[in-house]
Structure 1
Amino acid sequence: MKKVQPLKNGSEADNYLYQGIARPIVDICETILSHKEVFRPKKIKFYIHQNLDVNASAKKMPKSLKNFFSDNHYLIEINQGAILFIHRTILDFFHNKNFMPKVKSEDDVDISWLSSNLSLYKNIPANRQRIEYAGNITILSSIIFFYHEMAHVLRGHLDYIGENYSMSMLAMDDEYDLRINNIIKALEADADYQAGEFLGIMFNREKELFYKVLEINNDLDFFKKATMAARFSFQLLDNKFKSKKYHLPHTRFEVFLEGLLNKINIDQDKALEIATGLFIGMEKACNTFGYRSHRQPAEIEEDGEQYRSLTAHLLYQLESELNFYRQKK
């Protein structure tokens, strides 16, 4: 089974999406997984799936494959649909020339090679610099998805849920069992925080790889792109799914940022200045370019308070149970 498979056959669009985005994602994730000491006793495999649904997931290898895999084998998958969704939406966002990265009008080029092969990209005026920049943000968004799903494995979330709650219980209406909903939301918040920590840890370890793939030459540039990727991803996914099993994108971003700053070796004052400016700038840009959040300010404030009180307290209560599943061999 290939780690990643082409979307189309032989087109220029396929070559760009495969070599420019999917392949670097796999290379980074495979390098991350090579640090086996981080994952013991868990064993994790990673694939980019051809499915065009917008989704990423972590799951335990099914018992039907127990002859090939041990009880500690897990699979993380990112659908190509999720990668395309982020990249296409970011390109759409970048088409306004007043938003970064700034380019001269004469730099605009025809991207019919992309839009003619993939209907998702029709009617998006862009240029190669923005295409490449959007590609970098998409790669980092996918890495954040990967770390988020990896946290579900390493933090014991999958085993805890699998042994304590049935799929029918998880599918219940949110109001039917508020505790289950709150537990899921708490585990998702924990995964957001851990995704930030994992990204910081692995950037410190594999800085040259990140520099090469993302075409950057300093740590603050990486931080800027990473925070932009997180902010974009959380906002776009909330706009698309409006799921009640996650905190709102503002809260998710703050939780992720706290984890990232806790581990990354970087000038904290400059990083916070960048994050604050980026958050305000992107909020204004989102509103200006039609990506206004469907959430009201009062709802956003209430969600942040819910995280600081209910979610954080619930995670503290679950810690001993989750620790049992983390150490389970």
Structure 2
Amino acid sequence: MPQTVLITGASGGIGRATAREFARRGDRIGLVARGRTGLEAAAREVRELGGQAVVVPADVADHTAVHDAAEEVERHFGPLDVWVNVAFTSVFAPFTEIRPEDFRRVTEVTYLGYVNGTREALARMLPRDRGTIVQVGSALGARSIPLQSAYCGAKHAVNGFTSSVRTELMHMKSNVHITVVQMPAVNTPQFSWVRSRLPKQPQPVAPIYQPEVAARAVLRAAERPRRKQYYVGASTVATILADKVAAGLLDRYLARTGYDSQQSGQDVPADRKDNLWEPLDGAGKAGPGHDYGAHGSFDDRSHARSPQTWLSQHPGLAWPSAGLLLTLTAAATARARRAALRRPGHR
């Protein structure tokens, strides 16, 4: 039976790919983001795939706007069954070079945006005693890296906040569920529109996955939300396990490699724009803009599938030991990163 789904950050990247996955089930989807051009394009895709869509431009950092967005979606499609929090923003820079107002903005969108979304979802789901909230998390919410202090801090906060809410729902014996899908590096447009104070263009740290891999995991989590967390990509598992067993070594490794691995060999254009404060694809009545879509500029380096993700969704299968899994995934991650560093033009 079709469900009513609200997705924040639906104009691009993981949010955009996630909207397509729910559309294939014929769901009714509320698409929320700041940029109208990307939202309208996402709505067309949803309808072409057999779903229904309503476009609601809103800034998730504004709790009133999030409330109004939820009202609008329910007016169109009825009670919400699934709420997916995806929207985020970031700044690539050493912490000492991030302006206080920019750091606050990242926190308000990437952390408080999830808080605002969760609040509105629970306000509607708890009285009905049904519904699912999916938080799109990150391996960087468990293991921080250099040059992304604002984003890492926000993603850590999302994990802590979500765990607290989960235990409250358990205490209430509620049939409302909340789960987190921890993501690896994903080939999204964020590296084209994120604010950066680096000398070279920002890039994801290999191995990189296509947004469809992430979106399929979100759909799976929405269908089976009883698990606390889902992990996407071998690198996510390796990173989290390595932080638990060898945090000091990982600190030194990231201090040595974390700057270069997050920058390509391309200089940053003098006129480079970002979406920290305003969307790059037009908002409200600002007029037409560019549709960035779901994919970034790293298609030739991105994986379309993740065997580890499939295994994580089938816990009844025999798993290798944690030590063996860590060894295998860490080795694969190291090979991918070495290959990225050897690419022509990499500094």
* Structure with more of its chain in strand, by fraction: 2
- Name the TM-score, length of structure 1 as normaliser: 0.27
* Structure with more of its chain in helix, by fraction: 1
